[in-house]
Structure 1
C-alpha cells in the first residue's frame, strides 16, 4: 500500500540517535498498540498519544545537547520571548506623531551635517547615483554579454514586486528629507519608499558576483551598499525597514530567479530528449527558451 512518508526534522534525528534502539519485542508491542481504527475514538486512546508524545521522551541530557548543538534556534526562541515582552508593553506611536525610526536616531548627527552642507549632500548623492549605475551595468552585462539571465530576471521580479507593494502602501515622506537634483531618481521625482530598490539591486549584483567567484568585486559592492544605506538614512531617503526588507528582497528574488532558470533549463532538456541528435546551445536554447 502506498502512503506518504514524512521526513523527520534534524532536531528529531538528533535526539533519537542519542538513545539505544529498542529491542524487537518492544517494537512488536509498539506496532500492535498503534494498529487502531483512526476513524473511531477508543478508550484510553488520548492517554496513549500523550504517553507516546515526542516531548515526553526528553531528558535533561537531551535539552543540554540541544542547547549546545542547536544554539541558534535557542537564541531565536529567546528573541521571540524578548520581543513579545517589548511589543506588548511598548506604547504605540500616536497617529499625529511621525514614526519612530532607530536608523534616524543613529544617523541624526550625519543628518545635521548634510542639512548644513548642501554641497556635501550633492556630492554624496552623485556618488550614490554612480553606484546605482554600476549595479545596473553589471546586471545587464551578465545577460547581454555573458549570456546569464538570472540576475536580470531577479531584478525584474524584484522591481515589479516593489512597485506593487510601494503603490499598495504609500508611506509618507520622512520629516527632514534631504533631496538632491543629482540623486537617483534624478530630478527629485516621486519614488516609492517601501522597499529600497537601491539596496535590493546591490544585493542581487553581489550574490551573482559570489556565484562567479568574483569575491573582491562582491566585497566592494557590499561595502558600498552599507555606505549607501547609511547615506539614505542620513538624508531620510528611506526608513530603516525599507533598507532591511531590501536586503531580504534581493536574496529572495535571486533565489526565485534561480529556480525559474533551472526549471526552464530542465524543460528544454526534456523537450530535446526524444531527439538526441538535436544540438542545444547553452547560451540560447537552454537559457532563452
Structure 2
C-alpha cells in the first residue's frame, strides 16, 4: 500500500551546487541559487520529510578575501623572523646603549619585585642621603660652614637668574626665559599636588634661597632645573666654558642639597630632566610661532597680489 506521506527528499551539496533527488519522482535539476554573497553557505546535506528537516550537516563558513590574513601569515611576515645571529651581534656592536638599558630593565624588574616596601611609619629610603652622611654630620657640627655654603648657593641662583634674564632683555633671545616660566609653573602644580614631608635632619639656613627659612616645594628642584636651562642655552651659543662652569656648580649644589637634606634624590634627578624637557618645549613653542607668523605673512602677500 502506497503511503500518503510526502516523499523523502535528500539534498546533497558537495561544492556549493545543489543536486536534488527524489526517491519517487525524478524531476529536472534546478539551477542552484547564488550563494556567493551570503554570509553562511548552504548545508552540505539536507534530508527532509514532510517539509521538516531530519538531518542537516553544514559546511564551515567561507572565508572572504579580506579575512585572508591569518596569525601564521602575520608571524611569518614579522620583522624578527628575518633576524640572524649576525644581526644580534651588530645590535650589541652598533647600539650598546639600548642593550645596556635592556639589561637594566631586567635587573630593576628583579629588584622592584623582590624588595621590601618601606612602611608608612618610616621615613623614605634615600640612597643620596646615605652617600652624603659624612657631609651631613660635618655640616651639623659646623653651622657656620653650613651658612657659608648656603650663601654661596644663593649667589649661584642669582647667577642663573641674571643670565636667563640677560638672554631675553639684552640679547633678545627669550627661549631660556620661556623655559623657566614653563618649568616653574609645572613645578608649582606638581609641588602643591604632592607635598612631600620634610626630610629628617634638614639643615636650614636663613641665607639659603629662598631667603628667610620660608617654606618651599620639594618636588622638583628649581635650583637644578634652572641651572640646566641656563647651561643648555650657553651650549647653543657655544659658550662652552660658561656651560662647564654652570654644570660643575650645579653638581656641587646637588651634593650640598643632599648633605643638608634640602631635597630628596628624586627631586634633583627630575630637576635635571625637567630642565631639558622645558628647554625643548620652549624651542617647539618658538618654532610653532615662527611658522604661524610665516603663514600669516604669506596669506597677506597673496591677498595683496
Normalising by the residue count of structure 2, what TM-score does the alignment of the two structures yield? Answer: 0.76
Aligned: 1:196 with 2:233: no
- Equivalent runs, 1:20-99 vs 2, <5 Å: 37-38=65-66, 40=67, 42=68, 45-99=70-124
Higher helix share: 1
Aligned partners of 2:78, 2:243: CA distance in 1, in Å? 48
Structure 1 residue 70: Cα displacement: 1.3
Q: Which runs of 4+ in 1 moved over 4 A?
A: none
Aligned: 1:235 with 2:293: no
Aligned partners of 2:259, 2:70: CA distance in 1, in Å? 63
Give the unaligned 5+ runs of structure 1: 1-35, 277-289
* Residues 237, 37 of structure 1: alpha-carbon distance in 2 compared, 3 angstrom cutoff: farther
Structure 1 residue 274: Cα displacement: 4.3
Aligned partners of 1:136, 1:108: CA distance in 2, in Å? 31
**1:241-264 Cα shifts (integer Å, max 9, x gaps):** 000000000000000000101111
Aligned partners of 2:245, 2:293: CA distance in 1, in Å? 36
Structure 1 residue 103: Cα displacement: 0.4
Q: 2:210 aligns with which of 172, 176, 185?
A: 185
**1:252-289 Cα shifts (integer Å, max 9, x gaps):** 0000000101111222222222456xxxxxxxxxxxxx
The equivalent residue for 1:31 is none
Structure 1 residue 215: Cα displacement: 0.6
Aligned partners of 2:189, 2:70: CA distance in 1, in Å? 51
Aligned: 1:159 with 2:184: yes
Higher relative contact order (CA 8 A, sep 6+): 1
Bigger radius of gyration, 1 or 2?
A: 2
Normalising by the residue count of structure 1, what TM-score does the alignment of the two structures yield? Answer: 0.80
Aligned partners of 2:79, 2:185: CA distance in 1, in Å? 45
Aligned partners of 2:299, 2:199: CA distance in 1, in Å? 60
Aligned partners of 2:219, 2:168: CA distance in 1, in Å? 27
Aligned partners of 1:200, 1:234: CA distance in 2, in Å? 19
CA RMSD of aligned residues (A): 1.5
Higher strand share: 2
Q: Count residues in correspondence.
A: 239
The equivalent residue for 1:219 is 244
